[in-house]
Amino acid sequence: MSSLLRTLRRELNAAGDPVRAAGAQAYAKSSMPFHGVPAVPLRAICKAAFRDVAFADAEEWRDAALGIWRGALFREERYAAIELTGVRQARGFQTPEAMALYEELIVDGAWWDFVDGIASHRVGPILRAFPAPMKKLMRQWSRCGNIWKRRTAILCQLGFKQETDLKLLYDCIEPSLGEKEFFLRKGIGWALRQYAWTDPDEVIRYVREKGDALSPLSRREALKNV
- The answer on pLDDT for 213 being more than 70 is yes
Mean pLDDT of the chain: 97
Segment 2-54, tens digit of pLDDT:
899 999 999 999 999 999 999 999 999 999 999 999 999 999 999 999 999 99
DSSP character string of 65-116: HHHHHHH-SSHHHHHHHHHHHTSGGGGGG-SGGGHHHHHHHHHHH-SHHHHH
pLDDT confidence tier of residue 85, bands split at 50, 70 and 90: very high
Contacts of 222 (CB under 8 A, 6+ apart): 188, 189, 192, 193, 196, 203, 206, 207, 214
pLDDT confidence tier of residue 191, bands split at 50, 70 and 90: very high
Q: For the domain with range 1-93, which CATH number is right: 3.40.50.620, 1.10.3210.10, 1.10.246.90, 1.25.10.90?
A: 1.25.10.90
CA angle 88, 67, 93 (to 5 degrees): 30
pLDDT on residue 1: 63
Segment 109-149, tens digit of pLDDT:
999 999 999 999 999 999 999 999 999 999 999 999 999 99
CA–CA gap between residue 129 and residue 134 (Å, rounded): 9
Segment 87-112, tens digit of pLDDT:
999 999 999 999 999 999 999 999 99
Residues 20 and 38: beta-carbon distance below 8 Å: yes
pLDDT on residue 80: 98
10 Å CB burial of residue 75 (0-12, 13-18, 19+) is: buried
- The answer on pLDDT for 63 being more than 90 is yes
Q: Which of 85, 89, 121 is nearest to 104 (CA)?
A: 85
Calculate mean pLDDT across residues 57-79: 98
pLDDT on residue 182: 98
- Chain-centroid distance of CA 203 in Å reads 23
CA–CA gap between residue 158 and residue 76 (Å, rounded): 24
Calculate mean pLDDT across residues 193-210: 98
CA–CA gap between residue 40 and residue 189 (Å, rounded): 28
Residues 163 and 155: beta-carbon distance below 8 Å: no
Segment 148-168, tens digit of pLDDT:
999 999 999 999 999 999 999
CA–CA gap between residue 140 and residue 162 (Å, rounded): 24
| Domain residue spans of the chain | 1-93
